[in-house]
């Protein structure tokens, strides 16, 4: 008879604790800074939330929390819960909770248990656990990437109808930034060159081109151009850079997107050439037509 009473009593206490836990978890999250998170509903008494986006942090997790300990009865368990919550004494009203998260990239992924943490009324919760760093195109384009310089042969003066060798001089570049306290190394390199030759024509190349020996001036190259009119031409170039990043010395990963970087325009003067035939012998008549 005594053992039966003990069993019934244990069931009643356990049922009371479980009911109290569900009631507490369903409390409005506004008590803990609702303005800083997105409430997605509840899961078995747990509040599911999403944290605000941070540039460079991939939004791949949904988070939830439950109280670390709950008891609304005047029992030793209540005193134990009070002791747990007393660890949250940085501000009044603090409560200890247990965080979990689910990876939204994997369908049906299990919930992963994280650490315990304190929540305080009116104070937005801090994101628990580690984060997935993913440098964005916006961050790539904000880097101080040095533009390519524009070179030309035979120089800033060229001839109408001749191949003018125009080329880019880019450089691979490296940068370091910090995202949520983590060091992120970024490497960028050119991937495309968008040319504007100043006469209304344009070209996109995958190579920068380059200088050729003087003996080959006037030959066609991948990036050369033939001007059909004389005048001053502003040659424009935009180099498109792509990048990759490494977090805390880890492997490099590609950055989605690119960064177009315009160069300072280069002025070319296009001249015409004239050929005339003369009959004078300049040796016999140095002052003859065409000899001076």
Model confidence over 78-132: pLDDT tens digits?
A: 567 888 888 998 899 899 999 999 999 999 999 999 989 999 998 888 889 889 9
What is the pairing mode between strands 266-271 and 157-159? parallel
> Could you tell me if 87 and 153 lie in one domain?
no
- Given a cut of 80, is residue 195 above it in pLDDT? yes
> Could you tell me if 245 and 182 lie in one domain?
yes
> Could you tell me if 23 and 98 lie in one domain?
yes
> Could you tell me if 170 and 264 lie in one domain?
yes
Q: Please say whether the beta carbons of 290 and 278 come within 8 A.
A: yes
- pLDDT tens digits, residue range 227-271? 999 999 999 999 999 999 999 999 999 999 999 999 999 999 999
Q: Could you tell me if residue 129 is inside a domain?
A: no
Q: Could you tell me if residue 281 is inside a domain?
A: no
Backbone angles phi, psi at 13, to 5 degrees: -65, -45
Q: Could you tell me if residue 63 is inside a domain?
A: yes
Where residue 222 sits, what CATH number does that domain have? 2.60.40.10
Question: pLDDT exceeding 70 applies to what percent of the chain?
Answer: 77
- Given a cut of 80, is residue 204 above it in pLDDT? yes
Backbone angles phi, psi at 66, to 5 degrees: -135, 155
Helix%, strand%, coil% for the chain, nearest 5: 15, 40, 45
Q: Could you tell me if residue 282 is inside a domain?
A: no
Q: Could you tell me if residue 127 is inside a domain?
A: no
Report the number of distinct structural domains present in the chain. 2
Q: Could you tell me if residue 130 is inside a domain?
A: no
Between 40 and 137, residue with greater pLDDT: 137
Confidence of residue 211 (pLDDT cuts 50, 70, 90): very high
Chain CA centroid to CA 64, Å: 27
Confidence of residue 285 (pLDDT cuts 50, 70, 90): confident
- Write down which residue in 119, 149, 182 finishes a domain: 119
> Could you tell me if 91 and 142 lie in one domain?
no
Across the chain, what does the average pLDDT equal?
82
Q: Give the range of the structural domain holding residue 185, as residue numbers without chain letter.
A: 137-271
> Could you tell me if 186 and 250 lie in one domain?
yes
Q: Could you tell me if residue 234 is inside a domain?
A: yes
- pLDDT tens digits, residue range 35-85? 345 444 444 556 677 788 899 999 889 899 888 887 655 555 556 788 888
**Residue 34 neighbours by CB under 8 Å, 6+ apart:** 28
């Amino acid at each position: 008879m005594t053992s039966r009473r003990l069993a019934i009593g244990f069931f009643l206490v356990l049922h009371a604790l479980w009911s109290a836990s569900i009631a507490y978890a369903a409390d409005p999250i506004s008590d803990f800074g609702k303005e800083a998170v997105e409430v997605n509903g509840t899961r078995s008494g747990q509040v599911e939330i999403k944290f605000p986006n941070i540039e460079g942090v991939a939004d791949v997790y949904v988070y939830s929390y439950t109280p670390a300990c709950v008891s609304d009865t005047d029992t030793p368990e209540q005193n134990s819960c009070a002791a747990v919550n007393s660890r949250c004494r940085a501000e009044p009203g603090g409560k200890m909770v247990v965080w979990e998260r689910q990876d939204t990239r994997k369908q049906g992924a299990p919930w992963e248990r994280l650490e315990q943490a304190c929540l305080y009324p009116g104070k937005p919760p801090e994101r628990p656990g580690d984060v997935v760093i993913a440098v964005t195109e916006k961050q790539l384009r904000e880097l101080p990437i040095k533009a390519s310089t524009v070179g030309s042969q035979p120089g800033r003066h060229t001839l109408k109808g001749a191949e003018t060798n125009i080329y880019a001089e880019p450089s691979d570049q490296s940068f370091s930034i910090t995202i949520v306290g983590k060091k992120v190394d970024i490497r960028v390199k050119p991937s495309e060159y968008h040319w504007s030759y100043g006469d209304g024509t344009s070209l996109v190349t995958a190579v920068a081109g380059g200088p050729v020996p003087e003996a080959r001036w006037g030959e066609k190259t991948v990036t050369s151009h033939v001007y059909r009119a004389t005048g001053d031409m502003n040659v424009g170039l935009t180099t498109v850079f792509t990048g990759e990043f490494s977090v805390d010395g880890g492997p490099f990963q590609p950055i989605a997107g690119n960064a177009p970087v315009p160069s300072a325009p280069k002025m070319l003067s296009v001249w015409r050439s004239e050929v005339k035939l003369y009959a004078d012998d300049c040796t016999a008549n140095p002052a003859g037509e065409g000899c001076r």
